[in-house]
Amino acid sequence: MSAPLPILHRDDDLVAVDKPAGLAVHRGWAPERDVAMTRVRDALGHHVFPVHRLDRATSGVLVLALHKEAARVLGQAFAAGAVHKTYLALVRGIPPEEGLIDHALPPGEDRAQARVPAQTAFVRREVFGRYALVEVRPLTGRLHQIRRHMKHIACPLIGDVNYGKGEHNRLFRERYHLHRLFLHATSIELPHPADGATLIIQSPLPVDLAEVLARLRAGR
């Protein structure tokens, strides 16, 4: 039996869990049976409803509704841009201290699809030689938006096998034993579906990512 996911918040309307990298949210996005929704459902003994996307390769805060009405209200909040998500990413290259990437993207994996508006705000937090730690806030919700946008400004994410640089990914695998994408959903701020009050849910940086940063800061 798969291990239950750490619960970051739970009430009568929603639950937020700490999703590990490598685990898909639901079976519509993956062929395997072991997905985040199934683990949460089994742990709670209660059906859950997805309300937003968190890529398989990304770790961090994942919110699920506990009933259809909460799912409807949260879905409307996401569609209206009333939900704010924050990520930490390690990139190759040194981006500006802060910026807004306004670059249209295909809505899905088919690059031949007509592009749609996409915006990502970022703040540079630390610099380690050729690499930088960046706090990222997607203002729209396109597939692989953060990864595509950071590549667009020549700062691809470390560990990104689709949009990144193989030589840097190999260096981090060999030197830092990092075998995943360095992208973590650190927090989500949303209006609660019951009363609209602001709810902020946070996720600590996973041990493997924190160890990479500790070694970079120490110059090792």
Count CA within 13 A, CB hemisphere, residue 79: 7
Q: Which of 11, 12, 13, 55 is catalytic?
A: 55
Maximum Cα–Cα distance for the chain, whole Å? Answer: 51
Q: Work out whether the CA dihedral 86, 88, 92, 97 comes out positive or negative.
A: positive
- Amino acid of residue 122: F
Residue owning tokens 């970051």: 8
Do 185 and 203 touch, CB atoms closer than 8 A?
A: yes
- Residue ranges of the alpha helices (H) in the chain? 36-44, 68-79, 145-152, 166-176, 207-217
Is 55 a residue of the active site?
yes
The span from the CA of 201 to the CA of 10, in Å, is 10
The span from the CA of 101 to the CA of 41, in Å, is 37
Which structure tokens are listed for 53?
Answer: 């996307």
Which of 50, 1, 10 has the alpha carbon at shortest distance from 30? 50
Dihedral angle at the C-alpha atoms of 160, 162, 164, 169, nearest 10 degrees?
A: 50
Q: Catalytic residues, which ones?
A: 55
